[in-house]
Amino acid sequence: MTPQAELVVDLDVYRQNLDVLRRLAPGAQQMAVVKANGYGHGMVPMARAARDAGAEWLGVATAEEALALRSAGDSGPVLCWLAAPGAPFAELIDQDIEVTASSAEQLEEILAAAPRRPRVQLKVDTGLSRNGARFGPDWTALVHAAARAQALGRVAVTGVWSHFACADEPGNPATDEQEKVFRSAVDELSAAGVDPGTRHLCNSAGVLTQPSAHLDLVRVGIASYGIAPDAAVPVPGVRPVLTARARLAHVKDVEAGARVSYGYRWQAEHATRLGLVPVGYGEGIHRTASNRAEVGFAGGRLPVRGTICMDQFVVELGDVPAQRGDIVTLFGPGDDGEPSVEDWAVAAGTIGYEIVTRLAGRWARTYRGER
C-alpha cells in the first residue's frame, strides 16, 4: 500500500536529464552536483545513478558529504568546496577526494594536513564574493603559494574554478564580466608556471545561458533534477525527477462559515468538503504556502486552505468525490495535472531549489529505476 507520505524518485528520469544536459554542453565533462542530500532527493542513490549515466565527477559542498560518498562505495572523482578551519583534510586526501583552496592560507592548511601530495583545485572569486580568492592580490597570493608548493612537489593542482552570480538572468552583463575575469585568472595561473588543469565555471543556468563558459567541465545541479534554475531559464528536455504525494488522513463535510486551521486564516463561504493531508513543515513543506499552494487530485487541483501546520494541512475538496486514503500529489512531473516544484516555489515565495532541499522528516522514500 502507498505510504501515508511518500517521495518517489525516478532515477531513470534523472539519468535521462543528465544525458540531455550533456548534449547541451557537449565538449565538457559533467559534474553531477549531489550536495544537500541530492537536493532533497537522497545523495547516495542520486550519486550512483549519476555514475551510471556517465557523470565523470560528483560535486558536494562539505567534507562530510564527500566522505559519505566514499562510505557508500563511490570511488570516482569527487570535488568538495566548502570547508571551515579544522575540516578533515587528511581524511579527504587519504580518500582521494579533491579539495578546493580558496586562499593561500587555506592551501597551507590543506598541505599541512595532507598525508601525501594532495590534489587541489583553486577557486577564484570572480564577483560573487562568497568563497574563492578574490581576483587581484588575494588570487595572486594563492597562485604564488600554489606555484611554490608545486615546485616543492607538495601539491598537484588539478583544476581552477569559479561560480556565477547571475547566470539565471539571461543577458545580464555580469556573467560575461565574470567569464572575462575567470579567463584572466587562469592566464595568471599559467603564467606562474602552474598548469590550470580542469577549468570550470558553469552551474545549470550557465550551461543554458553562457555556452562560451562551458570550458572543460560543467557542474549541473538543479536542472538535473528537472527543475528550472529560474522561470527565465527553462531547461528544454528535462523532466522532474521527484513526486511528493500523501494519502488523505481524513475527509469531512463542513458548514458555511467553518474556519480552518491555526489562526482561522480561512473560512468557508459555502458548505464544502475538506481533506486532511498528513504532511507539514515537519516534512519541509513551506508554511508560507499556506492558503496559496495547490495539490493535484484526480486530474485536477485542490487549493490549500488555511495555515500549513507541522504535521498536516487542509485542502478543499468541494464536490470532488474523495475518501480517506485517496492520494493527493503535492508536486510531480505534471502528468496528472499536479503542480510542479516551481508552482510551490511561487506559492511559498521562494525558489524551486529551496522547495526540494527542505524536504525532511517523515516521508517514506521510494526509488524507481534502481540498477
Ligand X SMILES: *Cc1c(COP(=O)(O)O)cnc(C)c1O
Q: Which of 15, 119, 163, 199 binds ligand X (CB under 6 A)?
A: 163
* Candidate list 180, 252, 262, 264, residue with the active-site label: 262
CB of 61 to ligand X, least distance (A): 6
Q: SS3 letters for 215-252?
A: CCEEEECHHHHCCCCECCECCCCCCCCEEEEEECCEEE
d(Cα 289, Cα 348) in Å, to the nearest integer?
4
- Pairing type for strands 364-368 and 5-10 reads parallel
Q: Cα separation of 254 and 33, whole Å?
A: 47
> 3-class secondary structure for 277-337?
ECCCHHHCCCHHHCCCCEEEECCEEEEEECCCCCCCEEEECCCCCCCCCCEEEEECCCCCC
Nearest to ligand X of 33, 181 (CB atom)? 33
One residue of 42, 132, 221, 280 binding ligand X per CB under 6 A: 221
**Using CA atoms, how far apart are residues 46 and 214, in angstroms rounded to an integer?**
23
Nearer to ligand X, 225 or 281 (CB): 225
Q: Is 130 among the annotated ligand-binding positions? A: yes
Report residue 195: phi and psi, to 5°. -65, 120
Is position 123 annotated as part of the catalytic site? Answer: no
Q: Which stretch binds ligand X (CB under 6 A): 214-222, 294-302, 315-323, 332-340?
A: 214-222
What separation in angstroms does the CA of 62 have from each of 44, 107, 161? 15, 16, 17
CB of 197 to ligand X, least distance (A): 17
User: Which residue in 18, 120, 220, 235 binds ligand X (CB under 6 A)?
Assistant: 220
DSSP β-ladder status, 156-161 and 119-125 = parallel
Contact with ligand X (CB under 6 A) among 15, 22, 214, 219: 219
Residue with C-alpha cell 559542498?
61
Please choose, out of 175-183, 185-193, 203-211, 242-250, the segment that lies near ligand X by the rule CB under 6 A: 203-211
Q: Which stretch binds ligand X (CB under 6 A): 66-74, 176-184, 220-228, 245-253?
A: 220-228
Residues 246 and 4: beta-carbon distance below 8 Å? yes
Q: Determine the size of the site formed for ligand X (CB under 6 A).
A: 13
146 with 107: CB under 8 angstroms?
yes
Only segment of 102-110, 222-230, 243-251, 321-329 that touches ligand X (CB under 6 A):
222-230
Write out the DSSP string of 42-62. -HHHHHHHHHHTT-SEEEESS
310 is in an annotated binding site: yes
Which residue lies nearer to ligand X by CB, 221 or 226? 221
Residue 203 within binding range of ligand X, rule CB under 6 A: yes
Nearer to ligand X, 202 or 302 (CB): 202
Q: Active-site residue 35, yes or no?
A: yes
By C-beta, is 8 or 167 nearer to ligand X? 167
Identify residues 90-119 at the interface with ligand X (CB under 6 A): none
Taking the C-alpha atoms of residue 371 and residue 368, their distance in angstroms, rounded to an integer, is 9
Could you list the residues known to form a binding site for substrate, using ranges. 130, 310
Residues in touch with ligand X (CB under 6 A): 33, 35, 81, 163, 203-205, 219-223, 229
Could you list the residues known to form a binding site, using ranges. 130, 310
Annotated catalytic residues are 35, 262
